[in-house]
Structures are given as C-alpha cells and as structure tokens.
C-alpha cells in the first residue's frame, strides 16, 4: 500500500477509533512539541561569517571516529529549508518547537565583541515565522557546540568560559527576548561533560574524573549566572531552565538499591542537587566518594571542585521548571569497589550498568523501549526534589531508514501512556512533552546511521527531501487532540501496517 494512503488510513483509525471517554486525554494546558539542535540539522557550517565550533573541528579532523565517516557540514540543511521545516511543524500541529542556537553563528569569534548580522537574521526569521505559525519557540542556548575559539582557551574547564557564556546569553536575551518565552541554558551537561572530556565526543579530551568535574562545575556556575541575569537584569517575559538527562536507573536486585540511587545521584543529582535540593551543593554521596577516592589516590585535594557558600546560595532554585531528557532504562548493580590508579567518573560512581535483552531494541545500542522506566524517573524526580514542575524536553527512539516506523509508533504510544499515568495517577507535575526529533539529523558519533525523525530526510536528494513517517501521523493526532488513541486502535494499526 502506498505510504500516503497508509497515513490517511492511520489518521482515520486514530481519530475515530474509540469514544472520547475511552481515550486517555492529557490535562487542558498540557503542551506537545518536537525538538532539534543546531549542529545536527542546520548545515551551512561556514556560511557567511559563522565561526567554527568544536564539532566542526572534531568531525573534520577525525572523520575516522564518526561511525559512517560523515560530518554535519550540510546535514538536513535546515538553514536553507527553514520555511519547509516550519511547514512540517504546522502539519504536525505541535504547540512549540525546541531548537538550539549555534553560539558560533551568532558570535563568530565566540566573544560578544562581534555579532553576526547574518546569524541574527537567520534566527530572527525562524522565531518570527514560528510565531506567525502559532508555534512557540523554546530555545536551547547551548547544545554541545562550543565555539572552537573558546575551546582553545580550555573550553569548559576554564572558569572564564562561564563569563563568556553569560555575555552570549545577554546578546540572546537582548536580541530575541522580546519574542522568546522559554529558554534552556544547557542541554545535557552530564553527557557532554562526560563524553567530551572523558569519552569520544568533541572536543575529544580524555580526562574522565578530572576535566569532567571541572566542566560540570563551570556549567553550573554559568547556568546560575545566566538565570540571575535573566531574572534580575533583563525584561524577562518567560521562563528559564536547564535540561538534565538520565535513563531510568533500576536496581538489578534488592541488594543493589544503594548502587542504583548512587548512579542517579552521580548522573542526575550532579546537576539537580545544587539547583533543586533544599541544602544545595553537590550530592553528599558524590562529595564523599570523590573526596575519599582522591585521598586514596594520593591527591592533595578532591578532584571534585568546591563551591563557595555564595555559589551554593546563588545556584539554589535557579530553574522555573526543570527540563528532562530521557530515553531508556538500565539495570544497576554494585561495582567492584577497587580504587583505580587512573581516576575516572566510572570508578567514582562504582556501578555496573546493563540492559535486559528482552526489552525491545532500537537502532541505537544504548536505547531500548522501556516505558515503565519513564514513569519511574518522573516519580523519582517528584519525590527527590519536592515535586518541581517538569517539561520533558526530549524523548524518542531511533530506527533504520524507512517510512514504516511501527516500532517508533509503539515507543511513543507506550511512553505517552506512562506519562499520562505519571501525571494523572501519580500526580507528577509535567507540563509538556517534546519528541526527539522533528526530522532525521546528524547523530553525533553515529553520523547519519541512526534515524530519530518523525520525518525522514533523504540525504542523497538535492533538496534533502523530507517525508513523513507513520509516526508523524500518530504524533500529529496526539498533538492536535491531546488524547491518545485507544490501545485497540493502535494494535489494529500495528497489525495491519507491519
Ligand atoms: C541529545 C540529542 C541526541 C539524542 C539521541 C540526546 O541525548 O540531546 O542531541 O540526538 O539524545 O541520541
């Protein structure tokens, strides 16, 4: 059957299968959106005066490290297909669009001494067109792509970079703040501090257990400075937050409860505890373990930096709502407890992580479809941090290329049911859900091999043709009605469309 016909059929069944009373509907003000990030979709990496970012440099210098040896010089070329992408957003019927601004496109030198007219023009057009289409912009200020000029100064290990981030933030607030109501300072500091300074991502530093913590420390400082800048010095019209990420950490056995909670504190609490807990500062378990291991490794001081009392105070409460990216779940068991000679985040955290092979797989090695983990992480945040309002800024799944993405429909449907239960039954205060991603994009070290889009991008075509997958029809129906189709309708469709 032709894909277009399937999609129409899909819509008919989803829209009419089941009465309103049988359907699960989200609260009245709940919002649905989709997400992307600049480096992953824009292309135009050196258009006009755009500066080089660490991801430009890294993928150019090390094509062999990217799974399919590609780079994001062109990617989905959203820079030149902006209006087309807004059409897709309208077609989906989402209420907001989460995208990121490329620091080096707005400030080509990385510093606020030069503001790019073309860079500002691009984001002005994007924001204006979104608003004209009735779609709210939710802007991520930093999604992994530090200007290379600042990396040359040490990147996030240099405390001065926090000041340069604040300067950048000021430019963004002054330039776009009259129309943007939602700001996210950083996307996933856990992931980029760990993978960029002790893993395989840009900038490719191999200093886990050292630079990872310096990075986290300066990110937290930059976040607090920016929050206060927004609320105290700007004509703030909206809200500001940070997006933290974690897959659910489930204890493998009853005896592993401590290990599982330690993993949650090292991964999520690292950034959430200073911001959301009553006492502030790093989670006690991180402080205690890293101090102790540092001593045993013969360092004169802890590898985990120390906040001044003023910094602890200024970090507390610096979100208006908390952003959560979550995709999957892991089973956690207690680690070997040895003190490694070479420090590392993993040794400090001291757990083993694995996934249950019976959980449905995706096209990403780390991502299995575990909806109950989604409900659990939402409840854990509620219990641990005194019920803060939450916006799910990313959740999604990868497939191989192709339009019949039945596994994506199952994933989204399962996760939305779990989310609905968390909101309605468990009373977790979740205000919005953002699917990752609108279109296929450059999946960092996996290149173009993993597809997360509701719309497929044909990278071989001259105009980077976008085509809706079945999941686009599914998600559009949910975003427009705020209700989930009946399970029977979804099963019927799955069986007929496989
Ligand atoms: C990141 C995205 C990435 C997605 C899928 C998230 O951790 O924010 O940039 O594409 O996961 O891997």
Distance of alpha carbon 97 from its chain centroid, rounded?
A: 13
Distance 452 CA to ligand 1 centre (A): 9
Asked if residue 443 has its Cβ within 6 Å of ligand 1, the reply is yes
Tell me what pLDDT residue 118 has.
98
- The yes-or-no answer on residue 394 being catalytic is yes
Q: What is the mean pLDDT of residues 46-73?
A: 98
Residue 324: name the closest of 19, 478, 98 by CA: 98
Which residue bears the tokens 């009853």? 254
For the residues 370-374, what does the mean pLDDT come to? 99
Return the half-sphere exposure (C-beta side, CA atoms, 13 A cut-off) of residue 332.
25
Cα(492) to centroid of ligand 1, in Å? 31
SS3 273: helix
Q: Which of 36, 436, 453 to mutate to test the pocket of ligand 1 (most atoms within 8 A of CB)?
A: 436
Give 14's pLDDT tier (boundaries 50, 70, 90). Answer: low
42, 188, 394, 450: the active-site residue: 394
Question: Given a cut of 70, is residue 188 above it in pLDDT?
Answer: yes
- 156 within 8 A of 193, measured Cβ to Cβ: yes
- pLDDT of 451 over the 80 cut: yes
Predicted TM-score (pTM) of this structure: 0.97
Contact criterion met (CB below 8 Å) for 62 and 444: no
In order of 230, 251, 346, 347, 348, the CA distances from 336 in angstroms are 45, 16, 11, 9, 11
- The pair of three-digit structure tokens given for residue 409, joined into one six-digit string: 């429909």
Residues 6+ apart with CB under 8 A from 329: 247, 248, 249, 250, 355, 359, 368, 370, 372, 373, 376
Q: What is the mean pLDDT of residues 271-279?
A: 98
Is 5 a residue whose pLDDT tops 50?
A: no
Average pLDDT over every residue of 462-482: 98
Quick check: 376 and 422 in contact, CB under 8 A? no
Where does residue 370 rank: exposed (0-12), middle (13-18), buried (19+ CB within 10 A)? buried
Axis crossing angle, helix 117-132 with helix 82-92, rounded to the nearest 10: 20
Measure 101 CA to ligand 1 centroid, in angstroms.
Answer: 16
- Judge whether residue 9 has pLDDT over 90: no
Task: Give yes or no for residue 145 CB within 6 A of ligand 1.
Answer: no
Structure tokens at 436: 């990752």
Strand pairing class (466-468; 455-457) = antiparallel
124-158 pLDDT, tens digit each: 999 999 999 999 999 999 999 999 999 999 999 99
For residue 314, give Cα distances in angstroms to 222, 285, 328: 11, 22, 32
**Ligand 1 centroid, distance to 105 Cα (angstroms):** 21
Tell whether ligand 1 has an atom less than 6 A from the beta carbon of residue 157: no
Q: Whose CA is nearest to atom 3 of ligand 1?
A: 443
CA distance 31 to 223: 25
Query: pLDDT grade, residue 416 (50/70/90)?
Result: very high
Confidence of residue 18 (pLDDT cuts 50, 70, 90): low
Confidence check: pLDDT of 52 > 70? yes
| pLDDT for res 23 | 83
**Mean pLDDT of all residues in 182-205:** 98
For residue range 309-335, list pLDDT tens digits in order: 999 999 999 999 999 999 999 999 999
């Amino acid at each position: 059957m032709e894909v277009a016909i399937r999609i129409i059929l899909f819509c008919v069944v989803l829209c009419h299968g089941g009465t309103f009373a049988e359907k699960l509907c989200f609260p009245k003000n709940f919002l649905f959106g989709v997400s992307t990030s600049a480096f992953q979709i824009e292309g135009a990496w050196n258009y006009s005066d755009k500066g080089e970012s660490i991801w430009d440099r890294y993928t150019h210098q090390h094509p062999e490290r990217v799974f399919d040896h590609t780079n994001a010089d062109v990617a989905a070329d959203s820079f030149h297909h902006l209006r087309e992408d807004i059409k897709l957003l309208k077609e989906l019927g989402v209420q907001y669009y989460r995208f990121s601004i490329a620091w080096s496109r707005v400030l080509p030198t990385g510093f606020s001494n030069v503001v790019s007219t073309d860079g500002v023009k691009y984001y002005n057009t994007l924001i204006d067109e979104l608003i004209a289409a009735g779609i709210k912009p939710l802007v991520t200020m930093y999604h992994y792509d530090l200007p290379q000029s600042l990396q040359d100064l040490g990147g996030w290990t240099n405390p001065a970079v926090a000041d340069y981030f604040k300067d950048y933030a000021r430019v963004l607030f002054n330039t776009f703040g009259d129309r943007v109501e939602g700001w996210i300072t950083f996307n996933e500091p856990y992931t980029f501090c760990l993978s960029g300074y002790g893993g395989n991502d840009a900038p490719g530093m191999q200093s886990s257990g050292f630079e990872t913590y310096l990075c986290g420390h300066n990110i937290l400082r930059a976040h607090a400075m920016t929050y206060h800048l927004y609320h105290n010095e700007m004509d703030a019209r909206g809200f500001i937050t940070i997006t933290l990420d974690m897959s659910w950490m489930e204890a493998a056995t009853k005896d592993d409860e401590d290990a599982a909670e330690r993993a949650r504190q090292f991964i999520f609490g690292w950034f959430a505890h200073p911001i959301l807990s009553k006492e502030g500062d790093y989670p006690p378990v991180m402080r205690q373990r890293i101090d102790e291991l540092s001593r045993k490794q013969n360092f004169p001081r802890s590898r985990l930096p120390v906040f001044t009392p003023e910094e602890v105070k200024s970090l507390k409460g610096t979100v208006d709502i908390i952003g959560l990216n979550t995709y999957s779940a892991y089973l956690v068991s207690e680690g070997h407890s040895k003190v490694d000679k070479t420090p590392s985040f993993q040794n400090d955290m001291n757990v083993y992580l694995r996934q249950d092979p019976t959980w449905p797989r995706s096209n990403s090695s780390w991502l299995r479809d575990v909806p109950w983990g989604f409900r659990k992480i939402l409840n854990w945040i509620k219990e641990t941090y005194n019920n803060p309002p939450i916006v799910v800024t990313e959740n999604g799944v990868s497939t191989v290329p192709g339009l019949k993405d039945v596994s994506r429909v199952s994933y989204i449907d399962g996760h939305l049911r779990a989310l609905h239960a968390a909101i309605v039954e468990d009373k977790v205060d979740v205000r919005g859900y953002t699917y990752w991603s609108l279109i296929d994009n450059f999946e960092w070290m996996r290149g173009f091999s993993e597809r997360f889009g509701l719309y497929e991008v044909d990278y071989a075509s001259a105009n980077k043709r976008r085509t809706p997958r079945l999941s686009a029809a599914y998600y559009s129906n949910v975003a427009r009605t705020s209700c989930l189709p009946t399970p029977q309708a979804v099963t019927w469709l799955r069986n007929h469309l496989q």
